Structure 1
Amino acid sequence: MNAPVPSPRRTRWLAVVALLAVLVVLAVGAGLYVGGALPAPVPPAAGPFGYTDYAQALSHVRPSGDLDFEGLLRDRASLERFVGSLAAVSPHRQPELFPSPEDGLAYWINAYNALVLLQLVERYPDGVDASWFGGFYWGHAWPVGGERLTLYALEQRVLLGEYADPRVHFALFRGTRGGPRLDGAPYQPEFLDAQLNDASRRYMGDARHVKLEDKTVHLARLFQDRRQDFLAALPEGRGGNVLQFVWAFLPDTCEERPGCDTRGDLDRACGPQLDRCRVDFIPEDTSLPDAANTAARR
């Protein structure tokens, strides 16, 4: 007796169901990948964990924050060794090696910045703009202490999810000229509080990020995108004014950065409550912070 032949309608329905099932599996897998929820192999550690190799790579950061890519390419092996060491050691896998919150936070900031730096070296002369839809931050995952982490997962799940210090936003190098500047030395747990304050002051003292014109304060779009993080750090909580956070890290004078705006400038223009000014959010310069390009423009 011959088996019944499925009707064309039923065949089409089964094909649609199978396609939807495949799409669901792909979507779940992509979500796990981007969110950093997939495991990664853990190689044996090559030696005690430290930041010496990373410091060598950072020696090619200019005082302006631009990068000497020629020097970085020569020292690529140092950067790759440090990134390789992340695969074997992390605060999640060996918390005993990172006993304080400062130990852990310094590790994760350095890890994030080193991965951005390595990706720029690998893509050079292309930068962040060469990736579609922000893929620079979520399109690649690295093994970090048994986890496969994208830059997105590192920032959102680990750095902001576990530590929630808004100053971290100014310490994370995003591979762009208009973003937070890469420091010329690794973040160290014993100096972390001072380093985070310095990173915040550098950011606020840069006219590309904070610029006062009459009664308008032009702020980098970072202050709009992460507004709730900054407001939560204020004594008033989430009902405050983001300019209060900005004010806390503005310089008192502009001796080191001529042309910057000071706390006194903001007070005079915006009033004691900083409520007399209009805030305008400006886009970030996403070009590559290449020292060679800087020299060519002069």
Structure 2
Amino acid sequence: MKLLSRFAFLALLFLLPFTGGCQYVRYFTPLNPSNSSSKPVSHAAFDALLKKYVDAQGMVNYSGLRADSAALNGYLKTVSDNLPNNTWSKQDQLAYWLNAYNAFTLQRVLRAYPLKSIKDLGGDKTLVNTVWDQKFIRLGKDKYTLNDIEQRIIRRHFDDYRVHFALVCAAMSCPKLRREAYVASRLNQQLDEQGVDFVNDPTKNKLMNSKAEISSIFNFYPGDFKKDGNSIQKTINRYAKQKISPEASLTYMNYNWALNEQK
């Protein structure tokens, strides 16, 4: 068993340089940062910023948002100072983490704006030096990475593949950034709406009956879409207007890492 574990660890180290920032990564240790005295936070400030600086196509007015960065930083201070705990509902906790990921991503882009791609902000070795591995996120007294939030918190504690339709890493091939913050009272509806929008977007998924050229997100996280007898085809058909065969052959589109910026 020890030999097998050591082999798995060495295999992971070998593969790291060849994986991208948002690819399917199994972190060994989950995280659960919390504040026992906190109450669910209001996301109204983030909601107002999204409505003001994100258009119907999910593109961001980064120039305008940069001029209003004090408002974004103020919201993120509230997030940082009020970590969730187990007295919060699961919906409140997940809404918190989805908003935190998206808002901190915007903040990281603004700190280096203008730029062509978020990938320009780091190296190409996953879990080592990509922008998703930089510890710039203060939560409580400690600092975390975007990968910590996505891989070690959201994916480890919330068994819901729809999070991949909601997390936006500032790239054209990501799901559209929603023009409102996630909130517990409507979270299930919001995630389903994100699924419908993403699956039926022809720039991200080209659907035909017997075959489909689909987003690489389905290839980055295949296990998340295949749990409990599910399949990628079933996931697509849950939201697709153009249904595909349960045995449809799947190919994956190249991921466009250009910044999701309004032109």
TM-score bracket relative to the smaller structure: 0.7 to 0.9
Verify the 8 A CA contact 1:60 1:69 in the aligned structure 2.
yes
| Pairing of 1:20-59 with structure 2 (within 5 A) | 49-58=41-50, 59=52
* Partner residue, 1:291: 262
Q: Does 2:159 match 1:164?
A: yes
3-state SS, counterpart of residue 245 of structure 1 = helix
Q: Determine the C-alpha separation between the residues in 2 that align with 1:152 and 1:71.
A: 27
**Greater C-alpha radius of gyration:** 1
- Structure 1 regions of 5+ residues with no counterpart? 1-33, 252-261, 293-298
Number of residue pairs aligned between Structure 1 and Structure 2:
228
**Alignment partner for residue 195 of structure 2, among 186, 196, 200?**
200
Q: CA deviation at 1:161?
A: 0.5
Verify the 8 A CA contact 2:98 2:182 in the aligned structure 1.
yes
Q: Which has the higher helix share?
A: 1
Q: Determine the C-alpha separation between the residues in 1 that align with 2:47 and 2:208.
A: 39
* Partner residue, 1:278: 249
**Alignment partner for residue 122 of structure 1, among 111, 114, 121?**
111
Verify the 8 A CA contact 1:38 1:147 in the aligned structure 2.
no
Verify the 8 A CA contact 1:129 1:286 in the aligned structure 2.
yes
Q: CA deviation at 1:36?
A: 8.7
* Partner residue, 2:69: 76
**Alignment partner for residue 111 of structure 1, among 95, 100, 106?**
100
Verify the 8 A CA contact 2:135 2:143 in the aligned structure 1.
no
| Pairing of 1:1-298 with structure 2 (within 5 A) | 49-58=41-50, 59-92=52-85, 95-96=86-87, 98=88, 100-126=89-115, 127-130=117-120, 131-133=122-124, 135-212=130-207, 215-232=210-227, 237-238=228-229, 240-251=230-241, 262-263=242-243, 266=244, 270=245, 274-275=246-247, 277-292=248-263
Which deviates more from structure 2 when the two are superposed, residues 177-186 or residues 47-56? Answer: 47-56
Q: Determine the C-alpha separation between the residues in 2 that align with 1:51 and 1:242.
A: 32
% identity of equivalent residues: 22
Verify the 8 A CA contact 2:175 2:198 in the aligned structure 1.
yes
Q: Determine the C-alpha separation between the residues in 2 that align with 1:164 and 1:212.
A: 26
- Structure 2 regions of 5+ residues with no counterpart? 1-27
Q: CA deviation at 1:57?
A: 2.0
TM-score, normalised to structure 2's length?
Answer: 0.79
Q: CA deviation at 1:147?
A: 3.7
CA RMSD of aligned residues (A): 2.7
